[in-house]
Amino acid sequence: MFDHADLNRLYRYCRVLCDQESDAYDLLQAAMERCVKSPPRTAASEVGYAMRIIRNLFIDQLRSSARASFEPFDEDNVALDFDLASLESTMLDRSELEEVWSEMTVVEREILYLWALEGYSTDEVAGHLDKPRNSVLSIIHRMRKRLKERFGEAQSAG
Amino acid sequence: MRQPLKQAIRERFEDIELSRQQLDELASRFAAGDAPVPARKPAWLRAPAVAAAMIVLAIGGLFGTQVYQSHQDRVLLQSIAEEVADNHLKLKPLEVQGSDLPSVLGYFTDLDFQLLASPRITANSGDRLLGGRYCSIQGIDAAQLRVAADDGTLSTWYEATLPADKLRRIPDLDRGERPAEFMVRGVGIHIWQEKGIVFAAAKAAASD
C-alpha cells in the first residue's frame, strides 16, 4: 500500500503534529490501520488520503485528551494580503528555526510543513486543513509579523 | 548560516526517518497488496451497481476494458509523477558529481538494470550535467541525475525499472508513443520508456 518513501513522508507529517517520536509513530500506525480498513478510491491519492486521516486522528486525540487545543482562527481586521509566497524571502539559520519552530502552534507548523515539503499552495493548505483561505492567510500574516518582530526586517526582506 | 525558510524547513525534516525496525514492522503489518477491498455495500445497494456494471460491460465491451486500462495506466503514471516531483523538490545532496554522463552513470553499480546514456539528458545546448544520486521509484532503487541549464534552472532525470505488468503501461518511444506529461505542484514532468528502461524528467514549470 505504501512504500518506504511514503511511510517516511507520512511519519514526517506525524512529527509535525506530535512533539514526541513515540507519539508520532503511534499516530502513523493508527492511520495505517485506518487506511487498511478504509482504503482510498485511487492509488494516486493514497498519501494525501493518509495525511487527512493522520490529521483527523490527531485532532480526535487532542479532543479526547484535552492536552492542547487549536488556536481559534480570529477573523479580525488583520490585513489578509500575505500568502505563503510572502515567506519565501525569510532567511534564518538552523538554530533560529528550531527556536521559532518550538514556539509555533501545531497549525502554524503544519502550514509551514505543507508549504515547504509537500509544495502546497495557500489554497491547497486551506483545503487540507479544512479552513477558509482567509483563516490560513491570517495565520501566515501573524507568523510573518512575529518573524519580523523577533529577528528584524533583515529576516524578511520580501 | 542563514538560508531561506523553506530550505531550512526541508533540511530540518530530511533527517527525520523511521528506523529500519519501524519500517519492517509497518511493512509486515500493512504490506503492499494486503489492503482489503472496501466494505461491501448492502445487497439493495449492490444490485443496481451490478446491473449497471453488466450493462456497461454489455454495451462497452472492449471499449470499456480499454477505458479501465487507460485509467489504471494514468493512476500508475500519476503515482510515478508524484514521486518524481517529491525527488525533484527535495534536491537532496548529490552522491556523485561530474559533467561526463558515462562517468556519472558508472557510479550506480547497485542497480538491477543497465543505465542508458540517453542523449536527451543533455540535449539542449548549454545544459550541464552536475551529478547524480540514488533514489527510488515505485519502491525500486533508481538513478537520479541533475542537470543545470544556462540560466541556472535545474532539471532532474530519472532512470528506473519496473515489473513487466507496470512497464507495459509506460509510453514506449520505441513504439512511437509520446511521453506522458504531468504538472505536479509546479513541476513539469515527462515519463516514458526506452529500451525497457523507464525515464522521467522534471523541471520547474515556466512561469508566464
The domain limits of chain B are 67-204
CA dihedral B46, B52, B53, B55 (to 10 degrees): 150
Please state which architecture CATH assigns to domain A84-155. Orthogonal Bundle (1.10)
In angstroms, how far is the first alpha carbon of chain A from the final one? 42
**pLDDT tens digits, one per residue of B53-104:** 666 556 666 665 666 667 778 888 999 999 999 999 988 889 999 998 889 9
Interface confidence (ipTM) of the complex: 0.79
pTM of the model: 0.47
Nearest alpha-carbon partner for B159 in B88, B111, B127, B92: B111
User: Which amino acid is located at B171 in the chain?
Assistant: P
Contact B164, B179 (CB under 8 A): no
pLDDT tens, position by position, A101-153:
988 888 899 999 998 888 888 888 888 888 888 888 888 888 888 887 777 65
Q: What value does the mean pLDDT take over residues B103-125? A: 84
Lowest mean pLDDT among A77-81, B22-26, B70-74, B142-146: A77-81
Q: How far apart are CA B92 and CA A12, in angstroms?
A: 16
Per-residue pLDDT at A77: 41
- Closest residue in A to B185 (Cα) is A119
A4 CB neighbours in chain B (<8 A) are: 18, 23, 27, 136, 139
How far is residue A156's CA from residue A144's CA, in Å, rounded to a whole number?
A: 8
Half-sphere exposure of A54 (CA within 13 A, CB side): 27
* Cβ-based contacts under 8 A for chains A and B: 119
Q: How far is A37 from chain B (nearest CA, A)?
A: 7
Domain boundaries along the sequence of chain A? 4-65, 84-155
- Percent share of chain B, pLDDT over 70: 79
Say what the pLDDT of residue A64 is. 62
Q: How many beta carbons lie within 10 A of that of residue A67, not counting itself?
A: 8
The lowest-confidence range among B12-21, B50-59, B138-147, B167-176 is: B50-59
